Amino acid sequence: MLEILFPEWKNFKFFVYSEAESPETLFLKPFSFKILKRSPSHLVFLLSPFNSEKPLYFLKVYQPRLFKRNRIKAFIKNLQMLKKRNIPVLYPLLIFYERPLFSYLKRHPFYGGILYPFIEEGFLKEELFFRENSQTLLINLVNFIFSLHEKGILLRDTKYNNFFYTKEGFKIFDLDGIKILETSLSKKERLKDLSALAMTLEWIGLKEAGTLIFKAYQNLLGELGKVHYEYYTELKIKKRKKRERKFNLK
């Protein structure tokens, strides 16, 4: 039950985006939990019924830490602003939280969470970039990122698997870390986003991804030149070294 993770959930603030199941039903329903990702700030769980191994939900929960912002409130604020700017977003089913400081003092393991339905198809996966039409997919992704940059959206975490893709186009869903500006992004801000995408694709073996991404973006923003490519390359190298340290690689 979610009540195990959030013992005082009845005092939480709730934002419901689907009427499929009420918070009361979800928090008291028996689930088995599988940790999909663990970080200093949050955990990601897959929730399955006890009588099935097939996940029903994807749950991101946040750990209370002193002097750190409420990332769930940041998510909600960004979601509202993105809606006003007509940015395609993958909406959660439910968002809930209490004050992080309250959770910390009460020694609660988490101060809130964001619940999505479990979706098997749609998120960009590694194998999609090794298919025959992968170059077209990558160029379309760069075009989408450019459209976000023009609207003042700095994604910050542009790993390829942070995008959702259907026949209708791309959507974003990991919203608590993005930054929304009143004007279109500067060249340096744009290159920071692009370098993260390039590094993750080069990491899985697409050696030409960095060059292709830069050229595709340059076709949209002709002001980019040699000095910008050098800066972009430096950012890629720094991000790769950071990832190598994380995995204890040389």
86-114 mean pLDDT: 94
Considering the four listed CATH numbers 3.40.1000, 3.30.200, 2.60.40, 3.30.70, the one that applies to the domain covering 2-117 is: 3.30.200
> For the chain, what is the mean pLDDT?
92
Two structure tokens written together for 164:
């959702």
> What pLDDT, on the 0 to 100 scale, is given for residue 168?
86
Q: From its phi and psi, is residue 145 left (phi > 0), alpha (psi between -120 and 50) or beta?
A: alpha
Domain segments of the chain as ranges? 2-117, 126-243
What are the tens digits of pLDDT across the range 37-46? 899 899 999 9
8-17 mean pLDDT: 92
| Cα 170 from Cα 173, distance rounded (Å) | 10
DSSP symbols for 14-64: EEES--SS-HHHHHHS--EEEEEEE-SSEEEEEEE-TT-SS--EEEEEE--
Q: Per CATH, is 126-243 categorized as 1.10.510.10?
A: yes
What are the tens digits of pLDDT across the range 153-204? 999 999 999 999 988 899 998 898 899 999 999 999 999 999 999 999 999 9
What are the tens digits of pLDDT across the range 131-165? 878 999 999 999 999 999 999 999 999 999 999 99
pLDDT band at 250 (very low <50, low <70, confident <90, very high): low
H-state helical runs in 95-225: 100-106, 134-150, 187-203, 209-220
For a pLDDT cut of 90, what percent of the chain falls above it?
75
> What pLDDT, on the 0 to 100 scale, is given for residue 249?
64
59-76 mean pLDDT: 94
